[in-house]
Structure 1
Amino acid sequence: MYFNGRPLTDRKGQPIAVEAESFAVVGGRWLRDGTRIYGQGEVGPKPTVYWYVVEGADLESFKALNLRYARDKNQAYYITSKTIRTKSPAAFEIVPELRLNYRDGTRESLHDVSVIARDREAVYFFGARLEGARPIGFRDLGHGYATDGEKIWFLEEKMLVETADATTFTVPGPGEPHVQGRPSGHCVTDRYQPYVRGEPCDPKKYVDDWRPFFEARADIKDWWWHKLVKDN
């Protein structure tokens, strides 16, 4: 059996026996026949595609949520052959990632490729539970940051930004002056200090970097930048 012009093979490169008569696409990277559900995984530094049987999947209720997650009436699934033992499978849903496009000034909500999901009890990142995150209100902020309204995470490192003030945490978006991190990355801020890759930075070293942003945002007052400029 072939999908997108390539044979369905397992992780060892061996062909998978599929019922051709009932073979169908569920959605995204999920397939089915009359008895089983199949998921598409990747392995290796130069990803090699393989297929696997989604063990325990319910054929009648199985639903592809995007290219990475799926659910049925009993549990949820991540594309790396991971079963997620959710207590609320009917509530399991995708949290869209946010792409900030500075060239054309747009914000893209990315649903199909998102690696973030939630149910009533937890938030999941690449199929693993993000410890301490509240699912209600959890959203992506762009540039790898996310919030549940009370806490901030730098998702790339699965790191809770413990010093961040969630109520004022700001990721400069399209149409606002972009602040480059040093030596790399994107610089973000809250009312107390700037951050690069989830780590707090010395505000005194970023006064000039943030000047265009704060001068453009007259609605923001009495943050760390204003205090340093006033003192100087």
Structure 2
Amino acid sequence: MTASRLPTNHPSYFIDGDTVIWSHSDRALWAKDGSPLPIAHPQAFRCMGGRWFTDGEHVIVQAQQGSGTVSYYFYRIEDADIASFEVLNERYARDARQAYFITGKTIRTRSPQAFRPLVYPDWRWPQSGPLEPVTCTHAYYAVDAESAYFNGKRVIGADGATVVGLPGNYIADAQHVYYLGQHIEADRASLVVAPNGAGPLRMTDKIGPIDDGKRKTALDQAEVERWRDFFTALPALQDYWWHRLQAPAASSASALAVEYDGHRLTGLDPDTFAVQELPVGHGLAGVFCGDAHGIHWLHRYSQSECALTPLSPWPIDSLQALGDGYLSDGATVFFAPNHYETPQALRKVDPAGFTVLQGYWARDASRAFYRGKAKKGVDPYALRIAGCYAWDDAQLFCDDKPLKVAVPHAALQVPHPSFLLAGEQLFFGRRPVSAKRVHLPTLEFLDADFARDRKHAYIVGHVNLVVIEGADPASFRVLETGRAADAAREYDAAALKETTAPATD
């Protein structure tokens, strides 16, 4: 510290004349846009706690953008009541009127004096000896008399009067359980959180275990066995899923467990259980299973591990494939991009008015969709689709990416699923094809694999039209799918594509 710099009550901040300096950057405090932050009374600058400061007139906060690569800045809270302002932790503060979150969010609480960070019970594993119970404070959860908050945002539906903190970013009120601020499907009355021997904390209800906010509904025998220490240490727990799997009921209908492909699936009705393998994106098949009470997506992590994700409360026999990865249970339309990503529900879509078009394109009464995402500004009833191209009067897409051309869309032609003719310009996908390489006036596509013009015969390769060396275009013709010939010899499409493919590492 230079002789001209005066210390504050925080070791990283100094006063230099009329300027407050943060020693980590050795510069005056700055706003989010990089401009100098106004300090009303620099000589009065002091830390109120954590990253909360004051100049005697305003509250000043050190904020940040990003988590991996972090950039810092400062801002002022203009209307905070300095006299009653109280720092609660690194992220939350309050005054007599309202509460605050470190990002600059003002929390309009109706009970500011009750606003506080949420505490929760936890356990500590000492180097030797039994587990030790400890009380911890949530870094991101807070509560007042009416509600709970996560990262400064109100947790929808949470009752602040009955909210309690739980380990692992969970909270619960009298009726519901929440993870990272979102309501999750869990039975509050039977919910248990406890350590598992010397291992990690575990959470479960009577229906099944919960991990990262999601119920694990597909359990192989090894996973069931890993819970043995947990339930052995808590003998007061009875009639949980684990107990039922140890001694299944004589009636399969009451056991609520079924076997599928070597996995025990819990919580399903054996009498109405069914599996459907339906087409999803990329021509693959996805596995859906369920019963009369709901539909689930089955995802295989490995040969020995899988999981069920609830999709719908409708019966499994209501699920139907609509085409190109789109499915419906009669009430909701889903898009399944492949066999390993969970299908996503399309918002505000009426299945009765939903039509699958071609190549992942679909429409409802007012919107066009590509791979389940609504495309803004596209007229669904003026949309034309050919090969990998789609267009209305205003927009042109190759797959779902915009493509600009110099001719009216009414003049567009698609002579091959991968090629677009826009006036005197030819595109392969989104790439223009040089007119010096291909003679457009005489170009004709003979089938999906072969083409010719007056100068050359071509194989439709992986990245463009590729000249077939030595082929005679005048006599070149297709014999059958994958084979062509000229007056001198025959040509195999697969072999030509392999030999003309771009080199890879």
2: CA distance, partners of 1:225 / 1:16: 59
The 10-residue stretch of structure 1 (77-86 or 212-221) with the greater mean CA deviation from structure 2: 212-221
Q: Which runs of no fewer than 5 residues in structure 1 stay unpaired?
A: 180-185
Partner in structure 2 of residue 214 of structure 1: 231
For CA contacts below 8 A with separation 6 or more, give which structure has more relative contact order. Answer: 1
Contact kept? 1:71, 1:77, Cα under 8 Å: yes
Partner in structure 2 of residue 67 of structure 1: 90
Aligned to 1:109, which of 135, 142, 157?
135
The question of 1:227 aligning with 2:244 is answered yes
1: CA distance, partners of 2:82 / 2:244: 61
Contact kept? 1:204, 1:228, Cα under 8 Å: no
For the residue of structure 2 that corresponds to 1:60, the secondary structure is helix
The question of 1:145 aligning with 2:170 is answered yes
Partner in structure 2 of residue 17 of structure 1: 38
**CA 1:89–1:166: 2 relative to 1, 3 Å:** same
Partner in structure 2 of residue 120 of structure 1: 145
The question of 1:40 aligning with 2:59 is answered no
TM-score by length of 2: 0.41
For the residue of structure 1 that corresponds to 2:188, the secondary structure is coil
2: CA distance, partners of 1:80 / 1:11: 11
RMSD of aligned C-alpha atoms? 2.4
Q: CA deviation at 1:99?
A: 5.2
1: CA distance, partners of 2:102 / 2:92: 6
Q: CA deviation at 1:187?
A: 4.8
Measured against aligned partners, the alpha-carbon deviations of 1:84-120 in whole angstroms (never above 9, x if no partner) come to 1112212211112555444653444333x62111122
Aligned to 1:129, which of 143, 154, 157?
154
1:148-167 to 2 correspondences below 5 Å: 148-155=173-180, 158-162=181-185, 164-167=186-189
Partner in structure 2 of residue 191 of structure 1: 206
Tell me which protein shows more strand as a share of its residues: 2
The one-letter code matched in structure 1 to 2:209 is: P
Contact kept? 2:156, 2:182, Cα under 8 Å: no
2: CA distance, partners of 1:202 / 1:218: 23
Measured against aligned partners, the alpha-carbon deviations of 1:150-176 in whole angstroms (never above 9, x if no partner) come to 211112xx32122x1112211222x63
Contact kept? 1:91, 1:120, Cα under 8 Å: yes
Equivalenced residue count is: 221
The one-letter code matched in structure 2 to 1:29 is: R
The one-letter code matched in structure 1 to 2:225 is: D
Q: Percent identity?
A: 33
The one-letter code matched in structure 2 to 1:42 is: Q
Q: CA deviation at 1:9?
A: 1.9
For the residue of structure 2 that corresponds to 1:219, the secondary structure is coil
For the residue of structure 2 that corresponds to 1:115, the secondary structure is strand
The one-letter code matched in structure 2 to 1:110 is: C
Q: Which runs of no fewer than 5 residues in structure 2 stay unpaired?
A: 1-19, 250-505
1: CA distance, partners of 2:199 / 2:24: 43
